[in-house]
Structures are given as C-alpha cells and as structure tokens.
Amino acid sequence: MAVKVYGPAISTATVRVLLCLEEMGAQYELVPIDYSTGEHKSPPHLARNPFGQVPAFEDGDLMLFESRAISRYVLRKYKSSGPDLLREGSLEESAMVDLWLEVEAQQYDKAISAIYIEIAIKPVYFGGVPDEKVVAESVEKLGKVLDVYEARLSKSKYLAGDFLSFADLSHIPYTHHIVASPHASLFESRPHVKAWWESLASRPAYKKVTAGTPTSK
C-alpha cells in the first residue's frame, strides 16, 4: 500500500519529505491540505498533526508529523531501494549526518526561513510588505552561517563528508526559493557553496519535486 503525505506541494517541509520519497523511488500519494480554508486546523488534520502544521504522513497504522522525523523513517524503510542517505551502518558517518542535520534545523533554517517568510509568504498570502529590517538581519545571519559552510565545503564534497546525505537534501526546500530571489548572491558569491548547491539542484528528485513549485522573483 502506498504511503500518504498530507500537505500542500509548495510547503517547504512537505517538499523535504517528498524529496526523500523520490530519492528512494517510493510509491506515495500526496493529499493536498488547503490552508486557505483552514484545513490544517480542522479536526481531521489535527488528528494527524496536533500542532496543525504540514506535513503529516501515514503508513498503514503509523501516523507521523515533523518532516525531519518522517524523512528519517522513509529513508530507513526504503533503504534497500535508493542511496544510503543516513549512513547508519557507520558510527562516524552517521554522527556527521546527524550533526549537519542539526546545523540545518537550528542555524540555517532559522535565518533562511525568516527571509522567505518576509519576501514570499507575507506579500503573496497576507498582502503584506516585507519588513526590510528583518530581511537585512536575516541575510546577515545567513551569510555568517554560509561562511562556515564555505569553509566546510572546501574540505569535503558534501556536508557530512565526501558522500551525499540527508543533511544536504534537508537544505533544499528553502534554498530553492532563495537562489531564485534577489538574495541569490549569498550562494553565488561563495564558490564551494555554489558548487554544492548546483550539485543538489542537478538531481532528478529535486527537479521532479520542485517542478510545480513557484519561486519568488
């Protein structure tokens, strides 16, 4: 039976899970959740995700939320049909994957999501105007994080080592939008970060999942 992912295709967290499913060649059904009607706060969806967020994920009797936890489950379940993106057979390698996943979740995500919310979410969904001060502060913060990434990626091909891992893929959802925005220079100006991004963006799973995802211009 195919697994189900509940969420809008454009939601960055939903994209994270879809990328993993595509990388592993898994069969899945995407069930859209309509934010404009408040479906994410409806009782059926709250039963899937008590925080009223997306995505939620269903595999038979198993219901999960939090995209990074869902992704880990997917990568383990379909382990034999795709690349080894968690490296759980090696203590050292999996430790590096976990480390850079935490960096993504705690450092990168905070700065880049703030930019995306201001320049894409506010104007498009709330008819608002970007707060330039927040954008400037977030751009500066992201720049400092990317300086660390530039140093790291000058020593190893991917974040956790010379192998692609879920730590790299987890960066795709927001980065996809920011490289198509006026703030692309954050990535363009750092040669190793740029090469790393281009490598991720060349993957078929990336192209397939983001095909219908509008980016802010």
Partner 1 sequence: MGSVTVYGPPISPAVSRVLACLLEKDVVFNLVNIDMSKAQHKSPDFLKIQPFGQVPAFQDEHTTLFESRAICRYICDKYADRGNRSLLGRRGGGLVERAHVEQWLEAEGQSFNPPSSTLVFQLAFARQMGLPQDPAAILLNEGKLAKVLDVYERRLQESRFLAGDEFSLADLSHLPNGHYIRAGGKEEFFTSRKHVARWWEDISMRPSWRKVVEMQRTPPA
Q: Which is nearer to partner 1, 35 or 78 (CB)?
A: 78
Report if residue 105 touches partner 1, rule: CB under 8 A. Answer: yes
Those residues with Cβ within 8 angstroms of residue 17's Cβ, 6 or more apart along the chain or in another chain: 5, 7, 55, 57, 67, 70, 71, 74
Strand partners, 64: 57
Strand partners, 6: 31, 56
User: Among 21-29, 30-38, 60-68, 132-140, which window interacts with partner 1 (CB under 8 A)?
Assistant: 60-68
Amino acid in position 153: L
Q: Which one among 92, 132, 140, 188 touches partner 1, defined by CB under 8 A? A: 92
> What is the token pair recorded at 95?
């430790």
Reported residue count of the chain is 217
Q: Which one among 151, 188, 191, 199 touches partner 1, defined by CB under 8 A? A: 151
> What is the token pair recorded at 22?
């595509």
Q: Which is nearer to partner 1, 145 or 164 (CB)?
A: 145
Report if residue 195 touches partner 1, rule: CB under 8 A. Answer: no
Binding site for partner 1 (CB under 8 A): 50-51, 62, 64-70, 72-73, 76-77, 91-92, 94-95, 98-99, 101-103, 105-107, 145, 148, 151-152
